[in-house]
A = this chain, B = another copy of it.
Amino acid sequence: MADKDEIRPNVHDSLRRVSELLRKHELVEGLVHRQQGPRQELVENLVHKLHLVELQKLLDAQHPADVAYILESLPLEERLVVWDLVKAEREGEILLEVSDAVRETLIANMDEHELVAAAEQLDTDEIADLAPDLPREVIQDVFRSLSPEEREQLRSAMSYPEDTVGALMDFDMISIRDDVTVEVVLRYLRRLDEMPDHTDQLFVVDHAGKLKGLLPVNRLLVTAPGTPVATVMQPDFFKLHPQEKAQDASGAFERYDLVSAPVVDDGGRLVGRVTVNAVMDYIREETDSDLLSAGGLREDEDLFASVWSSVRNRWAWLAVNLVTAFIASRVIGLFEGSIARLVALAALMPIIAGISGNSGNQTITFIVRALALGQITPENARKLFAKEIGVSALNGLIWGGVVGLFAFLIYHNWQLGVVMAGAMMLSLMLAAVMGVAIPLTLQKFGRDPAIGSSVLITAITDSGGFFIFLGLATVFLV
């Protein structure tokens, strides 16, 4: 499959190689089980080990994110063989990179001792990210191994809900005092072996820890060493608060092209920083969860999840749709007499419901997107209603004409064609009004308009479309 290779050129080669080695390994295992002669066994065991050694070498050479990708792409049994070969000191990083569903399968196969060892390799903000998936005793053990300062960080990182700035934040920032010179700062930095990733700026604080300004690393390089920090720092700067929504932070990173941003508490004291890589991960997760919930999957599904866990992941959506389908069915039931007299109605009614459902979903997509961008105000909401109704009226003329003609051509009944065209027009207008109203209403009541809007509009256009068409037909035709 060509496209896939293009997406992850190197890592996909690795995945193919891993699969190959695993297949050889399985083959050998099979042979060993069948042929129990001691000499044969010895040879096979040797080959077996050679494969695993090669596999381990291959894994050691991969970036943790790439090992995570390989693990996600393997069925459970093979995944655990590979996981056993991963060096203990890399397990923590890799656990951070894999998807939630796959992480559960890996953690379920590690003992307490291994988990503690893996977690201890990580920074406190990373431990906080893993914590929800770890057994209570493991967290307690890890906690005991930390310094008092780290314990404080871990406690603070774990105290913020998932979608806040506090959950995105790390503690790897370099802060400097505002009453020193650039030379002192440079000397201090040279004493560090290396600077944390994504250090594009240093945070300038006063003696009380209050953030006074930012000193971009690049400015540090082009400034004369004797200059006081206070004169070269940026005193006006963008800052975040731990309680703010993660979505705000990600919007700001996108708009202002940031690499890192300071996080301060209510007293203005520096408590951490957010970096662009945490923001990118957040955006990816958000996009994923929108995609999944739009399809009615409750959460990320392991590619090789059991049938039973997949059924559980998907049942809620199907149940809701079953209820709406039952309602639509009862609406049709109201008109069974009309259908019995003019059976063409049964064949034509799904057209009305289908087209208005699609049109309503287009309106929803458009409005949900504008809401997400914050572009809908009470003033322009009225204009949007007017516009969508206009669009649906024009669509009603066009598509109403087409479906009316279709009905006439098939059934040679011009009255049926006219009723069909009229029903199409009315259903499309219903879809337009509800397509604007549903997301605005969900938003007003503090619900996410991206979730549920589509189910609601389809329910309304189905039942409404059937009712309008069969109702008009009953009045004018039967």
Contact = CB atoms under 8 A, between A and B. Distances in A.
Interface string A239-261: 00000010110010111110100
A138 to B, nearest CB: 26
A281 interface: yes
A406 interface: yes
B251 A7 contact: yes
B376 A4 contact: yes
Interface in A445-466: 446, 462, 466
Nearest to A359: B318
Nearest to A379: B19
Contact of A6 (B245, B297, B303, B378): B245
A346 interface: yes
A217 B375 CA distance: 39
A450 to B, nearest CB: 9
Contact of A303 (B63, B307, B330, B384): B384
Residue among A8, A315, A372 with the highest chain B CB neighbour number at 10 A: A8
Contact of A366 (B259, B295, B344, B383): B295
B75 A383 contact: yes
A329 B347 contact: yes
Contacts of A346: 332, 336, 339, 343, 345-346, 349
Interface stretch (A42-50, A111-119, A390-398): A390-398
A190 B222 contact: yes
Contacts of A307: 387, 390-391, 394
B365 A251 contact: no
Interface in A218-277: 218-224, 245, 247-248, 251, 253-257, 259, 276-277
Report the interface size class on chain A.
35 or more
A208 to B, nearest CB: 26
A369 to B, nearest CB: 7
A218 B195 contact: yes
B218 A7 contact: no
Given A365-B294, A380-B75, A217 B222 contact: no
A231 to B, nearest CB: 16
Nearest to A9: B248
Interface in A319-349: 321-322, 324-326, 328-330, 332-333, 336, 339-340, 343-349
B220 A391 contact: no
A263 to B, nearest CB: 15
A64 to B, nearest CB: 9
19 contacts: A4-B374, A6-B245, A7-B247, A7-B248, A7-B373, A15-B377, A73-B380, A279-B280, A283-B283, A294-B365, A297-B362, A304-B380, A314-B359, A321-B354, A321-B355, A326-B351, A328-B351, A328-B354, A336-B347
For the complex of A and B, list the 3 residue pairs with the smallest distance between their C-beta atoms, beginning with the closest.
Answer: A295-B365, A346-B346, A65-B255
